[in-house]
Amino acid sequence: MNYRSKYVIAFKGLKNGEHFFNFEIDNLFFNMFEGSEISEGKLDAIVKLTRQETLLKFDVALKGTVELICDRCLETFNQKVDNKSEFYVKFGIEEEMLSDEIMVVPFEEHQVNIAQYLYEQVVLGLPAKRVHGRDKNGKSLCNPEMVTKLNNYLIDEDDEKPGEEIDDRWSELRKLLNNQ
């Protein structure tokens, strides 16, 4: 059995109205996607399918954690994911994506695989800056040894010698440091 088939919802025999489906998202799920930045995670997906004559509406709630690599110290940490989204499936002549939220499937189709959509929603639920959080005292949970090494390579403007010429490229990059 193909692992991706665990994420198929057969809608042909369902009556009009609401139907609920639960899916478990685990390490094998993330391994299905080539080049995934997530290799480990455990999430629950609750999918509410509202079936109508010519339309399927999917309300998806994802909750759990994924393991990411910290952008600052390069160690792994668990990132919580908790997001909700919706998408629609319309019936038409051939399969196509009208937008990120609207998919067309042929009239004769009887099921839809939502694995790709679930994966995209997990990734979209991640923060842009992926760093360890802070403890209850406000101290970073990053690896202190790595943070110390990084700080050793930071150039402080106060350490510059008067009259020393600075390459313009570095001064532009320094602006980025000051806008953290």
* Confidence band for 135, pLDDT divided at 50, 70 and 90: confident
| Poorest-pLDDT segment among 6-10, 127-131, 139-143 | 139-143
Question: What would the two tokens of residue 133 be?
Answer: 């959080």
Query: pTM of the prediction?
Result: 0.78
Is the separation of the CB atoms in 87 and 117 below 8 Å?
Answer: yes
- How many residues are recorded in the chain? 180
Of 178, 180, 66, 76, the closest CA to residue 131 belongs to 76
What value does the mean pLDDT of the chain take? 86
pLDDT tens-digit series, residues 39-74: 899 999 999 999 998 899 999 999 999 999 998 888
Higher pLDDT, 13 or 81: 81
Indicate if the pLDDT at residue 28 is higher than 80. Answer: yes
Mean pLDDT computed over 133-160: 77
Tokens of 142: 């990053």
The tokens describing 86, both together, are 């919706």
Per-residue pLDDT averaged across 153-167, rounded? 62
Predicted pLDDT of residue 5: 83
pLDDT at residue 62, as a whole number: 96
Rounded to a whole number, what is the largest CA-CA distance in the chain? 79
Indicate the domain borders of the chain: 3-124, 144-178
Q: Span 131-159, mean pLDDT?
A: 78
The set of long-range contacts for 108-112, using a CB threshold of 8 Å and a minimum separation of 24, is 110/10, 110/11, 110/12, 110/13, 111/8, 111/9, 111/10, 111/11, 111/12, 112/8, 112/9, 112/11, 112/56
CA 123 to CA 100: how far, in whole Å? 14
- Report d(CA 52, CA 16) in Å as an integer: 5
